[in-house]
Each structure stands twice: as C-alpha cells, then as structure tokens.
Amino acid sequence: MRIKFTPILGLLLFLSCHTRSTLTPIPPDVVTETTINDTDDPAIWVNPLDASKSIVFGTDKKTNGGVYAFDLDGKIIESKTIRNIQRPNNVDVEYGFKLNDSVFVDILAFTEREKQQIRLFSVPDMQPLDGGGFPVFEDASSIEERLPMGISLYKSPLDSSMYAIVGRKTGPLDDYLYQYKLTSDSGIVKADLVRKFGKFSGQKEIEAIAVDDEKGHIYYSDEGVCIRKYHAEPSKGNEELSCFGGKYFLVDIEGIAIANYPNGKGHIIVSNQQLGEFNIFSREDNTFVKAVNLGTLKTDGCEVVTVPLGSKFPNGLFVSMNDERNFFYHDLGKFLERPE
C-alpha cells in the first residue's frame, strides 16, 4: 500500500524522531516531593528576613487540586499549602500590596479555572484576600471563553499600582488578555477590569504570561506561533511591541521566566516543551542566546529569581515543572552567567 505524504504526517514523523533534546542534561540540585495530580506552574516568594527560608509555590491542576508550598529542600510545607482548589492553573507572587495606609503585604495570585475566577492570598501567612474569588472574563460570549489559565502580577514602577494580567483557555483573535487593577479600601480588596488587549493567532492556546516590572513589559506565549510582547502600563496603549522566537521551538512555546539583573540586563527563559529544552533570549533586545537541557519532561511553567537564596542557591534559583508530578530546582549559575 502506498502512503500519501502530507504535512501532518511529516510533522508526526519528525516528532517521532526528534522529541528529546540532544543537549547534555544539567541535573537538578533538588527535586520536590510529588503532588497528587498534575503539576503545572511555579512561583517563588523570597523571604526578606532570611532568603534561605524562601518558599516555592506550585500548582496541581485538577478538580481536587491545590497550590503547594515547598521549602528549598523540596519538601511540602503543609501549613502553607492551599488545597481543594478547582483546577488551579498558573500562579504568581508580588511584593508590597497596600492593604491600608499602614499595612503592606506580599501576595500570591492564581487562576481557578473551573470556578472562572482568580484567587488572591497574603504571603507567607496564606490568608485569603479575595472574599472567595474574583470573577474574570464576565462579558465573554461562552463558558469556554471564561475559563482562566495564565496569570501574572505587575507592580507599576510609576505609582506602585498592582495589576493581574489574566489569560484563558480559548478566546478571540484580539483582546485575548484582560488586565485587572487590584485595590484595597480598609482591607476590602477589589479587582477592577482596566483593559483588554493582546493578539491570538487562533492556533493552540495562550497560557504562559510573565511581566518585567522594571521595564514595564508583558510577555506571553502564543503557543504555536511566537512570544508576544506588550506594554504592561495600561496608559501606554495596546500596540504589540514584538512577536519573536517562534522558529526556535519544536511545537509548543510554554512557560516564561524573566531573569532580571541591574541596568536592564538579563534573560527571558522559555520552555521548548516537546524538545525538553529551555530557549534563552536577551532581556535587552529579545535575541536568541542559547538553549539548555535541564532534564525536565514536557515542562509547562517555570520561574526564576536572581538573588542568592542561601548556600544552596548562591546564584539565584530556577524552578521548572516536570511531568512526573514534581518540580526541579537549579542553581541559576549552573546554566546562566551573571551579566557584567
């Protein structure tokens, strides 16, 4: 029988032969304990009093899911783990949210897809600040377009305003992302929609979102096409600044982490999911730098901090989701040089 060669067949044949990295893997310093269901996305909270006691948060995305808290040895901190969350997807942290004139707290935000809302908790005491949750995409035309996935927090360097940028499982070709301003009046927190923005190719989906607070840029993965870049400040408009990097990925463009260094230097680290690698781009001009293999399988989310976290992670910490219900920790110096 003669088999007709088609583009889809060609892609399947290519994937069957090229689904693992040929780069030498860099083993993790720590592998966390496993979650119950399906890990997805991490966030890192740096303890300002003792960085060696910082916390890694990671989502476990099923109906009986949760946001797990891990110490720097990868052990689950049960007292700071949030359970019984209905499909939490992505998670992020931000520092110094103003609750009232005299109280500022660090916050953790994550999407709860099956309840069509985002959640907000204080860190590290893990107290809910949202009255049970903030609905999102309320004006969408279907339930499917109201299911949130990605989230990233932005603290404006102009006036310290705090925002949540939220993506969804599926949506229109324009205005795919919504940006909500987080405010508090005497401890009562609100999330008010301030803008809709962001192109979508219509291919695959958009999940990973990351914000560079200092430069004021939002990056998100239009998974089958490119990494898209926009202004984070609503007043600067909704024009797309860049659509880059697509040619360096095998199939899906996934998690994004921003390694910030002084004077605008640093890197954008993005998961090349099916190849088992991470592509690294310049933070300054978004040009491709290199690819690395950190040993993870089918990585969705990742996160990075560049400050030392004690003797175990003296160069900063990179955390990546691994498709075996856990997360990998790497000292950042194992694969990334600190810019001069």
**Maximum Cα–Cα distance for the chain, whole Å?**
77
Contact assessment for residue 35 and residue 60, using Cβ atoms and an 8 Å cutoff: yes
Report if residue 2 sits inside a domain.
no
> What is the bridge-based pairing of β-strands 177-185 and 188-197?
antiparallel
Give me the CATH number covering residue 292: 2.120.10.30
* Closest residue by Cα to residue 259 from 219, 314, 316, 208: 316
Upstream peptide bond of 124 is cis (omega within 30 degrees of 0)? yes
Report if residue 69 sits inside a domain.
yes
Q: Which residue shows structure tokens 């004690």?
A: 310
Domain count, the chain: 1
Interatomic CA distance for residues 174 and 323, integer angstroms: 31
Contact assessment for residue 21 and residue 276, using Cβ atoms and an 8 Å cutoff: yes
Report if residue 164 sits inside a domain.
yes
Report if residue 5 sits inside a domain.
no
Interatomic CA distance for residues 42 and 62, integer angstroms: 15
The two tokens of residue 40 are 């997805």
* Angstrom distances, CA of residue 171 to CA of 205, 214, 216, 224: 8, 29, 24, 15
Report if residue 7 sits inside a domain.
no
Chain segment 142-153, per-residue pLDDT in tens: 999 999 999 999
Contact assessment for residue 225 and residue 286, using Cβ atoms and an 8 Å cutoff: no
* Closest residue by Cα to residue 303 from 150, 148, 124: 150
Domain span including residue 244: 19-334
Backbone CA torsion sign across 9, 10, 11, 15: positive
Report CA 56 to chain centroid distance, whole Å.
13
* Closest residue by Cα to residue 255 from 25, 29, 27, 58: 58
pLDDT on residue 231: 98
Q: Is 198 left (phi over 0), alpha (psi -120 to 50) or beta?
A: left
Report if residue 14 sits inside a domain.
no
Report if residue 1 sits inside a domain.
no
pLDDT on residue 15: 46
The two tokens of residue 163 are 């925002």
pLDDT on residue 67: 98
The two tokens of residue 6 are 């088609």
pLDDT on residue 340: 79
* HSE (side-chain half, CA atoms, 13 Å) at 203: 11
pLDDT on residue 186: 84
All residue ranges of the chain with pLDDT < 70 are 1-19
Contact assessment for residue 334 and residue 313, using Cβ atoms and an 8 Å cutoff: no
246: which residues sit within 8 A by CB, 6+ positions away? 225, 226, 227, 253
Backbone angles phi, psi at 207, to 5 degrees: -130, -60
pLDDT on residue 19: 66
> What is the bridge-based pairing of β-strands 242-244 and 253-260?
unpaired
> Nearest 10 degrees: CA dihedral of 99, 104, 107, 113?
10
* Angstrom distances, CA of residue 112 to CA of 83, 120, 297, 313: 12, 11, 24, 31
> What is the bridge-based pairing of β-strands 65-70 and 55-60?
antiparallel
Report if residue 189 sits inside a domain.
yes
Interatomic CA distance for residues 238 and 221, integer angstroms: 17
